[in-house]
Chains A and B, each alone.
Chain A
Amino acid sequence: MQIRNSLYLLVLGVGVLSSAVGLLARESRADKPSTWWAPNEGRIFPAELDYKDSSGVTRTLLTDGPIDTKGHPFFTAIGPNGRACVTCHQPADGMSLSARTIQERWKATAGKDPLFAAYDGSNCPDLPQAERKSHLLLLDYGLFRIARSWPPKDLTGKTVKPDFDIEVVRDPTGCNTNKKWGLHSDHPSVSVYRRPRPVSNLKYLTAIGFAYDPKSGMPLSRDPETGKPVSGNFMADSRVNTLVEQARDAMHAHLEMMGRLDQKQVDRIVDFEEHLFTAQQVDNVGGKLNDSGASGGPAKLADSEPGKLGDQGHAVWSEFAAWENIPKNAKLTPEQRAFRESVARGARIFRERTFLISDSMGINWPIGFGNPVRNACAFCHNMSQMGNDVAPGQVDLGTTTLPFADPQPDLPLFKITCKDEPHPFYGRVIYTHDPGYALTTGRCSDVGRITLQSMRGLAARAPYFSNGSAKTLRDVVDYYDRRYNIGYTEQEKQDLVNLMSVL
């Protein structure tokens, strides 16, 4: 079933929003007692879907019009564990999954929801599944187990010879030393624990702005299936590079499907994903985010061309530039005005407040920017409208790797020993909770590099960073402040938090 946007607009225009049509075209949290989309429900996914979140309303648009999700492979439990794609990509959570929602599901189902599947929804499949502590990483940090085969395989399935050794130093989940699931099992695997990324705004993540990857010094990689260049901008470790391969990978890794998706199923999943756009639409204090000349919300994302550098077109987060000079006679409450002005300042700070970036692979080396280099957030978060990296965005912020990572006693710790050249910043021996991109490339110089996160719909999907180490947006700002010794003022921190909360 396809009902086009034009019909939706027409219905709105004549003001006859009957309950039946309204259900097809628009759904709000008030319409449904539960925000949770379970597999196989057969709901209609409307063209516009609003949900309350921690600071306002997040909106998801389906630009090709509503769809009936009955039998749709994104919404159907195709594999044996009862999960569908929607299980971990919930509309109310900006098409990702918040720790809050995970905790609610645990409480509502006594841990029986397929979300808590032993394979990746628990710390390790061998653990007693009825116990909360077996699912601690998912419940407390929103982390799913990702088992990467070791040594890695490249995009064509060929084994990569790594230039480093990996050892398990600490194994609180027991999975990396497990006889069946661990590094020395019959199928050697490295278990790392990561947040699910939002399945929305994907035209920005697949967009190709330039033919080259300046971080590798080479032209962009190509998809072995189609021969076309790929952006290299999704999945934390860039282990696959197309939405088609991502869908197949997820079916195996998260739905435990043994067979292969047929082409029609893949096409339906990818088509659905490519028409989704998500962003914050309303802030509880600031009001509508597309008001008074601002253009927040997902409509701008849907309508804009992806893959453009902010400094060659629309400056990053210039959607809120009009709030830099709010007219004195604007009918706003003092709180609303102050919040909007703060958002606009946050956007400028994001682009212009420079600091010294040091010891970060993918930024300071091997690209020739130098160590240190002075720049701002928008140096890497440089794509207009979206804030991801126009170039493939594998960067080491240190969130997973010592000495920069915050203490993470619940996560495994690995010792990496570089066999050839030492890592330019960490040296020959590196301690990390998640080697990131190095689990794909097999290069010790890639340890800790993680693909940049999407920055839209953040208010709906805490916690943040790939390992969930930042529980709040303020924690994100504080991490950067510590990591790069920035010295943000309290006002600057709040402005950045307010900005990120409206993206």
Chain B
Amino acid sequence: MKNRLFIARAVSSVLAVSGVLVGVAAQAQDIVQFVSCPIYRDADSGKKSGCWLASDRESGARYDVSKSPTKPLSDHAVLVEGRVTDESAACGSPTLDPVRVSVLDMPCTPKMLPAEGYPGRKFVLPKRNVRPLTEPRSAPPKPFAAKTFYLFFDFNRDFIVYQLDDYFLDRTIAYIRGVKASKIVVTGYAATDPMEISGQEIAENDRIARIRAEEITKALVLLGVDPDKIETHWHNGAKAVDVVDSDGLPDSSRRRVEVFVQP
């Protein structure tokens, strides 16, 4: 009897979500951006399979933001930027993909939902992952050309995001080594121009561009780059860039470091 009730509840949840989907489907491919308190749904399909949900207060829509490289902390608000998809089976809300979550310095009341029949998402190694040192990096093809690499950051943070920026950094250092770079220019950017999101004015602090640039410079030196070959710059008021690695998310692309490599 218990099982039957549970299934009925789960089906009803799915139907309710389907109703939302009709509305959301029309906006598919749209980018949403909002500040919200996150909700953890305790789905269990093994390791890292729980769901992170967040609601856009203005539209009333709840989204699955679990695919973000950075996941929320349950007692902190998050800034969400992502592209709406039609997929909602895993966690019960439309999935944002690609999506970036930034943990904000704003308290939230932790909220956890039961799985309610949703399976969550079985862990799959993200395509952007750093390979073990035992796996050789392929040498860049000749002729060597000057090239710019991009690393993207969470809001107001300089942390090299796991399974995103470490991958970009690994590619960057492989190129620097492969072309025996003669000069490297590291430039940090910050989204210091205020934007109104979810009724709040959001802007990065005016020190973070410099901190980001210096952190990446430090990282390159730790990876063996001659510090005399590195120039470090920073700029506030960053504009968006549209490059493959920015995943088409314009506002998160403003929070970046560019590494220009001259062979």
Question: What is the interface of chain A, defined by CB distance below 8 A to chain B?
Answer: 208-212, 214, 217-222, 229, 307-309, 312, 352, 354, 356, 358, 364-376, 379, 424
Contact with A along B101-117 (1 / 0, CB 8 A): 00000000000000000
A379 to B47, CA, bound (A): 8
Q: Are A211 and B133 in contact (CB under 8 A)?
A: yes
A354 to B218, CA, bound (A): 37
CB distance from A307 to the nearest CB of B (A): 8
- CB within 8 A of B73: which of A220, A364, A376? A364
A210 to B167, CA, bound (A): 12
Q: Are B223 and A219 in contact (CB under 8 A)?
A: yes
Q: Are A217 and B161 in contact (CB under 8 A)?
A: yes
Q: Are A211 and B44 in contact (CB under 8 A)?
A: no
A375 to B45, CA, bound (A): 10
Q: Are B74 and A214 in contact (CB under 8 A)?
A: no
Q: Are A368 and B222 in contact (CB under 8 A)?
A: no
Q: Is the interface of A mostly helix, strand, loop or mixed?
A: loop
Q: Are A312 and B48 in contact (CB under 8 A)?
A: no
A354 to B48, CA, bound (A): 9
A111 to B46, CA, bound (A): 52
A211-B223, A367-B162 known; A374 vs B50 contact (CB < 8 Å): yes
List chain B residues, Cβ under 8 A from A229.
Answer: 222
Q: Are A222 and B222 in contact (CB under 8 A)?
A: yes
Contact with A along B46-84 (1 / 0, CB 8 A): 111110100000000000000011111111100000000
A220-B222, A370-B71, A424-B73 known; A210 vs B160 contact (CB < 8 Å): no
List chain B residues, Cβ under 8 A from A220.
Answer: 222
Interface size counted on chain B using CB atoms at 8 A:
37
Q: Does B170 contact A (CB under 8 A)?
A: yes
Q: Are B133 and A209 in contact (CB under 8 A)?
A: yes
A148 to B230, CA, bound (A): 36
A308 to B134, CA, bound (A): 9
Q: Are B71 and A373 in contact (CB under 8 A)?
A: yes
A352 to B48, CA, bound (A): 11
A426 to B119, CA, bound (A): 32
CB distance from A191 to the nearest CB of B (A): 32
CB distance from B74 to the nearest CB of A (A): 6
CB distance from A164 to the nearest CB of B (A): 18
Q: Are B133 and A375 in contact (CB under 8 A)?
A: no
Residue among A208, A352, A367 with most chain B CB within 10 A: A367
CB distance from B155 to the nearest CB of A (A): 13
A464 to B76, CA, bound (A): 34
A219 to B222, CA, bound (A): 6
A-B CB contact pairs (8 Å), 17 listed: A208-B133, A210-B132, A211-B133, A212-B160, A217-B162, A217-B166, A308-B134, A354-B46, A356-B42, A368-B71, A371-B74, A372-B74, A373-B50, A373-B71, A374-B42, A424-B73, A424-B76
